[in-house]
């Protein structure tokens, strides 16, 4: 009964297996890109009226992404 297609769909087993196969680097990059889209659309970081705060916010987000990539790669190798 647990091998049927409807059982797997109802319990989200397919989605869980795909996330386990994803590398941590890919997950960090997806979060970074979603953050960029959020910053562009909601926070309007790249609008015409920019400020020092918006620039530092973008640099900080990129720095966090680079740190996340570093640790993701470090943990995948070990």
- E strands, the chain, in order: none
Query: Residue 59, exposed/middle/buried by CB under 10 A (0-12, 13-18, 19+)?
Result: exposed
pLDDT grade for 3, boundaries at 50, 70 and 90: low
Query: Residue 24, exposed/middle/buried by CB under 10 A (0-12, 13-18, 19+)?
Result: middle
Q: What is the pLDDT of residue 16?
A: 55
pLDDT of 61 over the 60 cut: yes
pTM, full prediction = 0.67
Q: What is the pLDDT of residue 64?
A: 95
Q: How far apart are CA 55 and CA 34, in angstroms?
A: 18
Average pLDDT estimate for 23-49? 88
Angle made by CA atoms 63, 25, 72, in degrees to the nearest 5? 70
Give domain limits for the chain.
23-77
pLDDT grade for 23, boundaries at 50, 70 and 90: confident
Q: Report pLDDT digits (tens) over 37-58.
A: 998 898 888 888 888 998 898 8
């Amino acid at each position: 009964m647990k091998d049927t297609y409807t059982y797997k769909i109802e319990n989200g087993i397919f989605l869980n297996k795909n996330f386990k196969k994803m590398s941590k680097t890919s997950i960090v990059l997806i979060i970074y890109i979603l953050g960029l889209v959020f910053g562009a659309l909601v926070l309007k970081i790249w609008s015409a009226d920019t400020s020092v705060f918006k620039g530092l916010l973008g640099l900080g987000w990129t720095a966090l992404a680079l740190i996340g990539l570093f640790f993701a790669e470090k943990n995948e190798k070990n």
